[in-house]
A and B are shown apart, each in its own frame.
Chain A
């Protein structure tokens, strides 16, 4: 087990290096010049040459790449061109907001998705099943930004088309102050972000349970006279969780990488928006640092998911 873990952790290094290299050269290939963007429309040529030199952007690409790798090995992600401050600081600032939103959205997705999927499987081909399947399809297909705006209109707006709205309970946008205020600010973005995951988890749980429910050991458990609840929770659900955990793991890793549309609609100060803004501004160091962080999260979450398989299903052995 420890050997497996060490091997997997070692594999993180080439993975992140590979991604860092790809993103470094991709940033180089994107048309446009970050210094011109900084200077704006009335760009002073002297200033452009000077700033380009000071940022080291006038060096050959191979030299820039070498310096980038050297910095990376020293644990330095460099300074943002645009904000002129360390990328590490920019990312660290955003991580708490992103993590909070990701955890909240994931919690809603898992609880609602698993319960809905279970209900649909148990009542297969009945009205509950149909309702869950339709709702999960809507959840998967609805654009997040549209759902976000809809939630704002229903639960946060004070007026709609001049008339007062009854459900104006929650804040429209922002991060709120720590404590209860932050929870109030979190509800709508978390709900909006959880919709897609909820839909996937419900569908995956349903199909996985339907597969397990036909297994011999379930029939045996029922024949032994166990209650339906006990068969479902102890024998069916646990065995059906492997594909669901995979989906949850990937979804969670994606959420930890930031959710641009939700963050933009709700003015949530997360990681995704910072990276997208940095791409628009050709702020190479922030994009590279942000993408490497997301890659790292994906790899680590995948390792955790693999470890979880063993906990869920003792028949699985890690090699």
Chain B
């Protein structure tokens, strides 16, 4: 009996030992591999096709363009171009290429590559959703529509100089050139891979593509010939982990070095338990509730729109729904965008004033106003914000009904102008006031281009167009501020909040530059391990 017990015990010990050994197989982070979480599998790695932040997170590491944003100051600085010059009339952009820049296949970048890359994005065969980035170039639209066999406004002047000629002066053009759609690609690799180039990207950025296992991970390695200095990281692994709670556990277990979000409701706990890992920084975005300016009751009724703005306590929404990360919006341009106006008062919470304005608008205590449907797309956060707005507007007598719609149908409804009230958010494509004011509120952009509210004010339109054409940054800022104050005065939207980015980063990584353009733009090539060799 004793012998039997002993043998069972020995067997038990063996099992426990094996289990402990399994447990010890922790995923230890190396000093040269950085693991970055992606919430979905990237739809593409072709810069001409990239429209989402997931694709952008990888594409921006593999590809470079002529110019790029300084991640902190957000100024446009040279990248593959060593220098650039804008003509006095603001139409001709001359770029001189840096020497010694090579694609990952080893071939040096020459001026012809710029022509090829930009024409490839504009080529209808590429089916790029981002042709608008290059449309300001003379002849771009004709080329895309098949009326021309080349883009007239792209001129190669020698091996290392290229000129881009615009149809008319357009100040945001340099900023648009920093976008993925204007990345440089080697013709021979695009032709070699054909349609498969999106899965085998070759650029001249700081990291070279290694492998893409769909829905598992994308791996890139350091480009040893990178003109901006060899990256300190040898490898970056973008791990696809869709579930927020799983991603958080993976981060805690050491399987991730960068987690792009904290699960809802966990921020307080994370602040206490991971104070060194937690990073919160400004993000170029706004969350708003749009009014339909073409339909009653909001059409031509600025008093009603102002009443709605005063009635909602945005500060409480930021605290309750966004756990204090976001802060109330006083206008359209978020902090960080050139032209942001810190002096703008906006519409602080004032239910008494809201009631008075509602009465002046012809609806005392909400009488005479029909029940209004506030549309939002399917998401818990949007629902909660909708419920808050429903409550606050109910306090002054405006009855709100919430309508929850799948994103595809929602986007279509907003583009077609069906909702009277709808929630929407916007994250800057590029850090320029034009990307907010022109796209979201200029009357020419009504509908699918971005002005879902169908807001229209000729004075506002004129100021924004003048700002687009101006080459003087100070003049532009002044024009945008004036335009913004007009839209705020008009209560074009219900301005809710400006967002901030939240991320967890393992504290043993340093030199992390948290860009207001979003976590996907963080320059990974400068990150280094604290215990790694000195720079």
Interface residues of A (CB under 8 A from B): 30-34, 36-48, 50-51, 54, 82-85, 90, 93-94, 145, 149, 152-153, 156-159, 161-162, 167-175, 184, 264-267, 269, 273-274, 277, 280-282
Contact B242 A264 (CB under 8 A): yes
Total of A-B residue pairs, C-beta within 8 Å: 168
Q: Closest chain B residue to A55 by CB distance?
A: B127
Q: Is the interface of A mostly helix, strand, loop or mixed?
A: loop
Which residues on the A side are within 8 Å of B23 (C-beta)?
167-169
A176 nearest CB neighbor, chain B only: B216
Please tell me if the beta carbons of B409 and A269 are within 8 angstroms of each other in the complex.
no
Show 7 A/B contacts (Cβ-Cβ < 8 Å), sorted by A: A31-B406, A39-B129, A48-B448, A51-B129, A94-B214, A157-B252, A264-B243
Partner of A44 from B19, B408, B412, B449 at Cβ < 8 Å: B449
* Contact between B44 and A40, CB atoms less than 8 A apart: no
Say whether B246 contacts A173, CB under 8 Å. yes
Partner of B215, one of A32, A36, A184, A269: A269
- When the two chains form their complex, are residues B412 and A38 in contact, meaning their CB atoms are under 8 A apart? no
Interface 1/0 per residue, B141-177 and A, CB below 8 Å: 1001100000000000000000000000000000000
Is the C-beta of B22 less than 8 angstroms from some C-beta in chain A? yes
Within 8 A of A (CB), among B352-370: none
Mark B residues whose CB is within 8 Å of A. Answer: 19, 22-23, 25-27, 40-41, 43-44, 49, 51-52, 124, 127-132, 141, 144-145, 195-196, 198-199, 213-216, 239-243, 245-247, 249-250, 252-255, 269, 272-273, 406-412, 415, 424, 426, 429, 439, 447-450
Q: What is the CB-to-nearest-CB distance from A159 to chain B, in angstroms, rounded to a whole number?
A: 5
Q: Which of B19, B129, B144, B241 contacts A40 (CB 8 A)?
A: B129
Residues of B within 8 A of A156 (CB): 249, 253
Question: CB distance A31 to B239 under 8 Å?
Answer: no
Contacts of A159 in B (CB 8 A): 252
For A39, A82, A161, A175, which residue has the most chain B Cβ atoms within 10 angstroms? A39
> What's the least CB distance linking A314 to chain B, in Å?
42
- The complex places the Cα of A101 from the Cα of B254 at a distance, in Å, of 25
A175 near B252 with CB under 8 A, answer no
Query: What distance in Å separates the Cβ of B194 from its nearest Cβ neighbour in chain A?
Result: 11
- Docked-complex contact A152 and B132, CB < 8 angstroms: no
A78 shortest CB reach to chain B, Å? 14
Report B-chain residues with C-beta under 8 Å of the C-beta of A30.
408-409
Q: How far is the CA of A50 from the CA of B269 in the complex (A)?
A: 49
> Which of B44, B246, B450 interacts with A42 by CB under 8 Å?
B450
A209–B415 alpha-carbon span in the complex (Å): 61
B254 contacts across to A, CB distance below 8 A: 158
Q: Measured between C-beta atoms, what is the minimum distance from A55 to chain B in Å?
A: 8
CA distance A265 to B199 in the complex (A): 25
Q: Is the CB of B412 within 8 A of A82?
A: no
Assess A45 versus B51: contact at CB under 8 Å? Given A37-B407, A84-B195.
no
Interface-central residue, A33, A42, A90, by most chain B CB under 10 Å: A42
* Contact of A85 (CB < 8 Å), options: B127, B141, B199: B199
CB distance from A46 to the nearest CB of B (A): 7
B266 to chain A minimum Cβ distance, whole angstroms, is 11
From A47, A145, A162, name the one whose CB has the most chain B CB atoms within 10 angstroms.
Answer: A47
- Rounded to whole Å, the gap between the CB of A107 and the closest CB of chain B is 20
Once bound together, how far apart are the Cα atoms of A175 and B41, in whole Å? 14
A40 touches B242 (CB 8 A): no
Bound together, the chains give a CA A65 to CA B412 distance in angstroms of 23
Kindly state the separation between the CA atoms of A165 and B25 in the bound complex, as whole angstroms: 15
B520 CB to closest chain A CB, in angstroms? Answer: 14
Q: With A and B bound together, what is the CA distance between A84 and B250 in angstroms?
A: 31
Q: Which residue of B lies closest to A53 (CB)?
A: B124
Chain A residue at smallest Cβ distance from B198 = A84
Partner of A46, one of B40, B144, B429, B447: B144
Q: Is the CB of B43 within 8 A of A83?
A: yes
A36 touches B27 (CB 8 A): no
Minimum Cβ distance to chain B for residue A47 (Å): 5
Residues of chain B within 8 A of A169, CB atoms compared: 19, 22-23
Q: Is B242 a contact of A273 with CB atoms below 8 Å?
A: yes
Minimum CB–CB distance for A267 against chain B, Å: 5
CB neighbours (8 Å) of A43 from chain B are 129, 415, 448-449
In the complex, residue of chain B having the shortest beta-carbon distance to the beta carbon of A37: B408
**Are A36 and B415 in contact (CB-based, < 8 A)?**
yes
4 tightest Cβ-Cβ pairs between the two chains A and B: A32-B408, A269-B215, A31-B409, A169-B23
Residue of B nearest to A170 (CB): B22
Known contacts A32-B409, A85-B195; is A50 also within 8 Å of B124 by CB? yes
Residues of B within 8 A of A281 (CB): 408
Q: B131 contacts which of A47, A152, A173, A266 (Cβ < 8 Å)?
A: A47
Note all chain B residues with C-beta closer than 8 A to A149: 245-246
| Other 9 A-B pairs with CB < 8 A, given A33-B412, A152-B245, A157-B249 | A32-B408, A33-B408, A33-B411, A83-B43, A85-B198, A152-B249, A158-B253, A161-B273, A266-B246
Is B408 a contact of A174 with CB atoms below 8 Å? no
CA gap between A280 and B23 in the complex, in Å:
38
**Least Cβ–Cβ distance between A270 and chain B, in angstroms:** 8
CA distance A39 to B246 in the complex (A): 30
Q: Which residues of B sit under 8 angstroms from A175, Cβ to Cβ?
A: 213, 216
Judging by beta carbons under 8 Å apart, are B215 and A274 in contact? yes
CB distance from B175 to the nearest CB of A (A): 14
* In-complex Cβ contact of A37 among B196, B214, B253, B411 (8 A): B411
Residue of A nearest to B129 (CB): A39
With a cutoff of 8 Å between Cβ atoms, the chain A residues found around residue B131 in the complex are 44, 46-47
Residues of A within 8 A of B272 (CB): 162
In Å, the complex CA distance between A26 and B412 comes to 18
Distance between A289 CB and nearest chain B CB, rounded to angstroms: 15
Residue pair A40, B52 in contact (C-beta under 8 Å): yes
